[in-house]
Amino acid sequence: MLIPADTRRPGAVEQLKQIAKQVGAGFYMPDTDNPIEIARKAPKVAYVEGYDTVIIDTQGRLHVDDKLMQELKKMMKVAKPSEKLFVADGMTGQDAVKIAETFDKNLDITGVILTKMDGDARGGAALSIFSVTNKPIKLIGVGEKLSDIEQFYPDRIASRILGMGDVLTLIEKAEENFKAEESKRLEQKLRKSKFNLEDFLTQIKQVKNMGPLGNLAKMIPGMPVKGIENIDDKVLVRIEAIINSMTRKERLYPEILNGSRRKRIAMGSGNSVQEINQLIKQFDMMKKMMKTYMKGGRRSLPF
């Protein structure tokens, strides 16, 4: 059950309510604006209603405020939480470190959650916060969606910082989003040289579910780190528009795409004929590459 104890920020309660609905969690609607009373009542209500875990969302603090710190101490006393997680903005650098140190001294936090780890910070805040608090970083946020919250692995973050990629996380994301049955079906089609643009469209939709392209590219070893987060995701939207502007026969048999058909597809998708030609060329290259990969002795696709 999610419990909104941030009663001062406009819309905070409603925002948490929508998140609870989105993830299928319970939600406690407070009958008071007093965060301490909410922290006292809500866990008891959750227990009676059969919830085994509660998350109390407290007010965000951009600076150390003694009054609010005392309020938090009282909330801790009445709620008796098993975890006290400090959420820090990974882009704020040394300011986040100082605040984390103060929170730890006053509240004895049990762990840290770092957000905005998809930006240029590259993990410096993670190292600094751990060095002053000696408390584990448990989760990181690498995007704006709930699915962009990841478990923190020090070795993987170190690899990203050094530009060495993070293949393990990339594989895990692929396993979460690519269905085994679908991968086997596509593998068989590749073996028989029957992989078509309809299959390609299915792959694109699954890649989109894995998160922003910039974040995925960071996990590939050898990719440049600086500026990589600015890769435009709209390129996938444009490819979808092009393929959706084709007839089913054209998607199944790309070899029939002559000049007049490509001109019609360009007009229908809002692209140029050159962009259509480029997509078909990229598709043919990908087919050849994947066919070569299959002949190389691999038994299955890496996704």
Q: Is residue 138 part of a domain?
A: yes
- The verdict on 92 and 20 lying in the same domain is yes
Is 168 a member of any domain? no
The domain boundary, picked from 162, 193, 224, lies at 162
301 belongs to a structural domain: no
Task: Based on the fold, state whether residues 226 and 157 are members of the same structural domain.
Answer: no
Is the same domain home to 150 and 69?
yes
Query: For the segment 91-101, what is each residue's pLDDT rounded down to a tens digit?
Result: 766 777 888 88
Does the pLDDT value for residue 225 go beyond 60?
no
Mapping DSSP onto H, E and C, the string for 267-284 reads HHHCCCHHHHHHHHHHHH
- Tell me, yes or no, whether 300 lies in a domain: no
Tokens at residue 296, please? 């190389």
302 within a domain of the structure (yes/no): no
Domain co-membership, 134 together with 8:
yes
**CA–CA separation, 96 and 81 (whole Å):** 23
How is residue 54 written in tokens?
């509660």
Domain CATH code at residue 183: 1.10.260.30
- Residues 139, 69, single domain; the answer is yes
What separation, in Å, do the N-terminal and C-terminal C-alpha atoms of the chain show? Answer: 35
Instruction: Give the residue with greater pLDDT, 286 vs 240.
Output: 240
7: how many CB neighbours lie within 10 A of its CB?
14
Q: Name the pLDDT band for 114 (thresholds 50, 70, 90).
A: confident
* Domain limit, last residue, from 132, 162, 192: 162
Contact 141, 149 (CB under 8 A): yes
Query: Where is pLDDT greater, at 287 or 148?
Result: 148
Q: What percentage of the chain carries pLDDT values higher than 70? A: 71
Query: Where residue 72 sits, what CATH number does that domain have?
Result: 3.40.50.300
**Burial of 2: CB neighbours in 10 Å, binned 0-12, 13-18, 19+:** buried
**Separation CA 201–CA 284 (nearest Å):** 14
What pLDDT is stored for residue 154 in this prediction? 77
pLDDT value of position 301: 45
- 136 and 188 in a single domain? The answer is no
Confidence category of residue 81, pLDDT binned at 50, 70, 90: very high
| Pair 223, 166: CB distance under 8 Å | no
In a domain, 167, yes or no: no
74 in the same domain as 98: yes
State mean pLDDT over 179-193: 64
Q: Which residue has the higher pLDDT, 63 or 148?
A: 148
Q: Both 34 and 74 in a single domain?
A: yes
Q: Is the pLDDT of residue 186 over 80?
A: no
Residue range of the domain that includes 279: 173-295
Spatial CB neighbours of 24, under 8 Å, sequence gap ≥ 6? none
- How many domains are contained in the chain? 2
Query: What pLDDT was estimated at residue 75?
Result: 94
In the prediction, which pLDDT does 179 show?
Answer: 62
Ordered alpha helix ranges (H), the chain: 12-23, 35-48, 66-79, 94-107, 124-133, 154-161, 167-177, 180-191, 197-208, 213-218, 234-244, 248-252, 259-269, 273-295
Does residue 69 sit in the same domain as residue 179? no
Lowest mean pLDDT among 126-140, 177-191, 197-211: 177-191
Asked if 59 and 8 touch (Cβ cutoff 8 Å), the reply is yes
Flag whether 269 is in a domain.
yes
> Do residues 11 and 137 share a domain?
yes
Residues 151, 261, single domain; the answer is: no
Q: Are 8 and 60 in contact (CB under 8 A)?
A: no
For the chain, give the mean pLDDT.
Answer: 80
296 class by beta-carbon count within 10 Å (0-12 exposed, 13-18 middle, 19+ buried): exposed
Residue that finishes a domain, picked among 92, 127, 162 = 162
**Is 35 within a domain?**
yes
My answer on whether 133 and 27 are in the same domain is yes
